[in-house]
Amino acid sequence: MGFFVAQLLTGLANAAALFLVASGLSLIFGVTRIVNFAHGSLYMLGAYFGITLMNILPGAFGFWGSIVLSGLIVGLIGVIIEMFVLRPVYRAPELFQLVATFGVILVIQDLALLIWGAEDQLGPRAPGLKSVVRILGEPVPQYDLALIAITPFILLGLWWLIAKTRIGILVRAATQDREMVGALGVNQSWLFTGVFFLGSALAGLGGAIQLPKGGADLLMDLNIISAVFVVVVIGGMGSIPGAFVASVLISVLNVFGVSYIPQSTLVLMYVVMAVVLLIRPYGLFGREEKAGEHGQVGEPDRPIRPAGLVGRSFVAVLLIGLAAVPFLFSNFSQVLITDIIIACLFAASLQFILSTGGLVSFGHAAYFGGGAYAAALLVSYTETPMELAFLFAPLAAGLLAIVFGWFCIRLSGVYFAMLTLAFSQLIWSLVFQWYDLTGGDDGLVNIWPSEWLSGTTTYYYFTLIVGVGGIILLRHLNHAPLGYTLRATRDSARQAEATGINVNVVQWTAFAVAGALAGLAGGLFVFSKGSIFPNELEIGKSFDALIVVFLGGVKTLSGGVVGAAFMETIKDWLTRLEYWRLILGLVIIGVVIIAPDGIVGSLRKVSEKIGLRRTEEFMK
Amino acid sequence: MSAVLKVENLVRTFGGVKAVNGVSFEVMPGELKALIGPNGAGKSTCFNMLMGQLKPTSGKVYLNGKNITGKPPRAIWRRGVGRTFQITGTYQSMTVAENVQMALISHHRKVYSVLPYAYKLYRDEALALLDVVGMADQADRACAILAYGDLKRLELAIALANDPKLLLMDEPTAGMAPKERINLMQLTSDIVRDRGVSVLFTEHDMDVVFAHAHHIMVLNRGELIADGQAAEVRNNPQVQEVYLGGGTLYKQEIADA
């Protein structure tokens, strides 16, 4: 009994930081409709600033003062982010905003590394709250009790702010209809900035307040963000009470999970989320999102036509050039190009649902890594011939996409993105924690291709044929009735439904196809490396794919392939630089603001301007 | 001759509000029928139930004698009901012809087909439909750069793609210039005449309604108060009260309170 109560208290104490971060994210989303992926980074900054300040300011007053000050500093940083990164892209499609905030994550990561160094920092303990209290015989840290006491006051404070003050009224009004609030004479820019300050400050507070329990390290930004997303999705986007209930639920669950089923703590969180969403698709306290017409924000996509003679000749020459590589260059360049082709196929599969379908998936790595792991597991445990295991990769990934797709497709927009992310995290946590089966962090090794494919050059040709085949297949699907129908569901779901098209089933099919082809890329990957590790399933992997599609050009057909080829080529050079994340982050933010058409889109515009390419007036 | 569309005692409540309260009517083959009424009369609610976007609280909708109550929009379309929207819902990233081809692809059940090039499928059929609405010369333009009036005509062509027996048009001339309105309604009556299709439309512009509709129904506060030819409806005292302000609305309000 004592143990049980102690566990419950630890869970409640852990909920404090989670709630602070989640309520900030929820608040920002409610008003600005922006999912701030950099919210975890603000939490991390809160922790670092907290340590620095606590080392300067002495005593209990210094300790608590540092926490408040950290919150204020991080709030101001949030204001800077809002004014310089997000303000220019409020009218852009949500994907642009998400990518911009991802750029911010990279920048903050390297800035934190620059300022505080790579070593983990231990948080100082709270003056006067350093010991433990015995409750039913079990030791409970005093600081935990303090946190449990503080959290309801923060909730109350937020509730008072939202329900009782003029600012709160504006925030609530903006959550419902920001255009109307603007029309009534409220300066929206400052309202958004204000909300960003508050939301960021909450994240900073969360980071600082957890210091005595956790400390600060450079991984805490991405570590908390998936938990925060789970909390926000379970609680309902934009709902503060929802964030509180879900934080408590998840934290308590985690603590009990650690004690009773230590192998599946991470999995448990995502299972709970899936169950909640099955019953209430918009979270416990969430309201149904009005599904807008996707892909309609900003400039509409151009009509498409299969490549003409010039385009096909160009591709043919390129392919001949690639086929000639083994005769002209070293093994190293073959390995490099193998990697590039795999990345291109993966990006192309994401682009199919992202651009053509308007379905912003944030967890596409689940199908890449899922396919790779499926093949690797078959080889490791059943000694299946490589050829069969390779075919199993797209099959397994496709099946996975069918199962996850069933949950995700019913939602749209941001909810869809969050849910795809959460499912990919579910797969990642399964692989990461099921050590006996997957080897956990040690991965699966010795997954080599069959004898006849084992040479570098042979495998290079194999990848060239399969990978390029997959890319061409996806490209053709865009021009086939299925691709057109998918585009129709994106352009106007209403018209599609009114002309006999089952929008959900079409999107589901496309989701499965994209998953299967990502799995194909995963299959190529695992046999080219001979091993697979959980990092191929991480959030970062999904983001990489999003970023290359974005760099290449979202509103184009070839953007993913071009972006991936570009990125993989420079990555080798770029990652040798010490602060490459900073550079990449700034480049991403720059592209979002200055050249949102991406590489392909910008080239197209230039060639239209100088008259090399027909304009959109007539398509013959 | 039996009715194409038969509506029996249709009711829809939102909380305590009876938006549509026991509406019954028929639309005959080849008939161009208007549904009018002041704002908040229940026209849109009524329309959304016919098209399957809203499920009725009670009552039945029959299409050619078959019960279609509560079926989803796509199922109702498959049974031969075309529709146009008050705010156009065209595919902005496709050409004009492709917009119609998309509906034809769905009509021919080729949505999941992966082999052919979509832009080549049913192009001649699409061009013929575009010819009907006078848009054939714009077939290869990007839909995104069309003028609003042209989008409306395009939507009409899309609605004709499954060779419907019944067209439901929700405020077909909303947001159009007066001259364009007349042209579009003339086009609609030509289609009714030439193709034998029945049309039910809602409209705010009384000139349009009285110039073209064969029959007119008037809805007020969720109830049908008139259903007949233009002259009858024009002379109906209840209709005059509703439109010219006999004070009914106001008195009713007091009575309700």
- CATH number of the domain bearing residue B112: 3.40.50.300
Residue of A566, A557, A569, A552 lying closest to A603 (CA atoms): A552
pLDDT at A330: 87
- How do A138-141 and A132-135 pair as beta strands? antiparallel
Q: Check if A620 contacts B (Cβ < 8 Å).
A: yes
pLDDT at A10: 86
d(CA B185, CA B181): 6
In a domain, B38, yes or no: yes
Give the number of beta-carbon pairs within 8 Å between A and B: 127
pLDDT at B230: 87
Token pair of A250 as six digits: 């998840």
Partner residue facing A500 (CB), from B94, B106, B113? B106
Residue of A196, A195, A170 lying closest to A184 (CA atoms): A170
- Please say if the pLDDT value at position A91 is more than 90: no
Give A244's strand partners: none
Please give, rounded to a whole number of angstroms, the shortest distance from the CA of B120 to a CA of chain A. Answer: 10
Interface test with A, best of B50, B51, B83, B91 (most A CBs within 10 A): B91
Residues of chain B with pLDDT > 70: what percent?
95
Residues of A in contact with B85 (CB under 8 A): 494-495, 498
When the pLDDT of each residue in chain B is averaged and rounded to a whole number, the result is 88
pLDDT at A615: 55
Are the beta carbons of A497 and B73 separated by less than 8 Å? Answer: yes
pLDDT tens, residue by residue, B146-160 = 988 899 999 999 999
Contact map slice: A 305-334 vs B, CB within 8 A: 305-306
Please give, rounded to a whole number of angstroms, the shortest distance from the CA of B99 to a CA of chain A. Answer: 9
The domain defined by A2-257 carries CATH number 1.10.3470: yes
Are the beta carbons of A483 and B83 separated by less than 8 Å? Answer: no
Residues of B in contact with A478 (CB under 8 A): none
- Please say if the pLDDT value at position A620 is more than 70: no
Residue B90, classified by CB atoms within 10 Å of its CB into exposed (0-12), middle (13-18) or buried (19+), is buried
Contact map slice: A 503-542 vs B, CB within 8 A: 506, 509
In a domain, B18, yes or no: no
Residues of B in contact with A300 (CB under 8 A): 92-93, 142, 144
- How do B32-36 and B215-220 pair as beta strands? parallel
Residues of chain A with pLDDT > 90: what percent?
45
Output Rg (C-alpha) for chain A, integer angstroms: 25
In a domain, B62, yes or no: no
How many Å is the maximal CA-CA distance in chain A? 82
pLDDT at A295: 39
Q: Per mean pLDDT, which range of A152-156, A351-355, A413-417, A599-603 is the poorest?
A: A413-417
Residues of A in contact with B104 (CB under 8 A): none
Band of residue A137 on the pLDDT scale cut at 50, 70, 90: confident
Residues of A in contact with B123 (CB under 8 A): none
Interface test with A, best of B111, B121, B155, B158 (most A CBs within 10 A): B111
pLDDT tens, residue by residue, A110-129 = 999 999 998 898 888 888 77
Please give, rounded to a whole number of angstroms, the shortest distance from the CA of B202 to a CA of chain A. Answer: 18
pLDDT tens, residue by residue, A442-493 = 999 988 988 888 888 999 999 999 999 999 999 999 999 999 999 999 999 9
Token pair of B13 as six digits: 């409540």
pLDDT at A42: 96
Residues of B in contact with A295 (CB under 8 A): 92-93
pLDDT at B246: 59
Contact map slice: A 264-293 vs B, CB within 8 A: 293
pLDDT at B197: 93
B4, B49, B165 from B31: Cα distances, Å: 9, 20, 11
Partner residue facing A482 (CB), from B51, B85, B114? B114
When the pLDDT of each residue in chain A is averaged and rounded to a whole number, the result is 88
Phi then psi dihedrals of residue A613, to 5 deg: -130, 145
pLDDT tens, residue by residue, A242-281 = 999 999 998 888 888 878 877 677 788 888 887 887 788 7
Question: A309-609: which CATH number, 1.25.40, 1.10.287, 1.20.1630, 1.10.3470?
Answer: 1.10.3470
pLDDT tens, residue by residue, A95-112 = 788 889 989 999 999 999
pLDDT at A285: 85
Residues of B in contact with A495 (CB under 8 A): 85, 89-91, 158
A110, A449, A529 from A383: Cα distances, Å: 43, 12, 18
- Please say if the pLDDT value at position B253 is more than 60: no
Partner residue facing B77 (CB), from A477, A499, A618? A499
Give B82's strand partners: B167
Are the beta carbons of B111 and A498 separated by less than 8 Å? Answer: no
pLDDT at A255: 85
* Closest chain A residue to the Cα of B97, Cα to Cα: A619
Are the beta carbons of A492 and B89 separated by less than 8 Å? Answer: yes
Residues of B in contact with A477 (CB under 8 A): 114
* Closest chain B residue to the Cα of A503, Cα to Cα: B74
Please give, rounded to a whole number of angstroms, the shortest distance from the CA of B205 to a CA of chain A. Answer: 25
pLDDT tens, residue by residue, A368-408 = 999 999 999 999 998 889 999 999 999 999 999 999 999 88
Partner residue facing A499 (CB), from B94, B103, B117? B103
pLDDT tens, residue by residue, B125-142 = 999 999 999 999 999 999
- Please say if the pLDDT value at position A202 is more than 90: yes
pLDDT tens, residue by residue, A588-611 = 899 888 888 888 888 888 888 887
- Which residues in A533-561 are b (16+ Cβ under 10 Å) and which e? bbebbbbebbbbbbbbbbbbbbbbbbbbb
CA A359 remoteness from chain centre: 14
pLDDT tens, residue by residue, B56-102 = 999 999 999 999 998 999 999 999 999 998 888 899 999 999 999 99
Domain boundaries, chain A: 2-257, 309-609
- Region of B57 please: left (phi>0), alpha (psi -120 to 50) or beta: alpha
pLDDT at B247: 52
Count of domains observed in chain B:
1
Contacts within 8 Å (CB) and 24+ apart, A80-86: A81/A38, A81/A196, A81/A200, A82/A192, A82/A193, A82/A196, A82/A197, A83/A193, A85/A589, A85/A592, A85/A593, A86/A32, A86/A34, A86/A196
pLDDT at A289: 62
Q: Mean pLDDT over residues A191-210, rounded?
A: 93
Q: Tell me, what amino acid is at A139?
A: P
Q: Mean pLDDT over residues A215-238, rounded?
A: 87
Token pair of A299 as six digits: 């400039």
pLDDT at A297: 52
Are the beta carbons of A499 and B89 separated by less than 8 Å? Answer: no
Domain residues for B112? 29-55+70-216+230-235
- Please say if the pLDDT value at position A183 is more than 80: yes
- Please say if the pLDDT value at position A131 is more than 90: no
Of residues A284 and A136, more confidently modeled: A284
Q: Mean pLDDT over residues A428-446, rounded?
A: 89
Angle between helix axes A265-279 and A413-433 (nearest 10 degrees) is 150
pLDDT at B59: 92
Q: Contact A363/A420 with Cβ under 8 angstroms? A: yes
Vertex A220: Cα angle to A77 and A14 (nearest 5): 100
d(CA A32, CA A195): 8
Q: Mean pLDDT over residues B173-202, rounded?
A: 89
Q: Where are the beta strands (DSSP E) in A146-243?
A: none
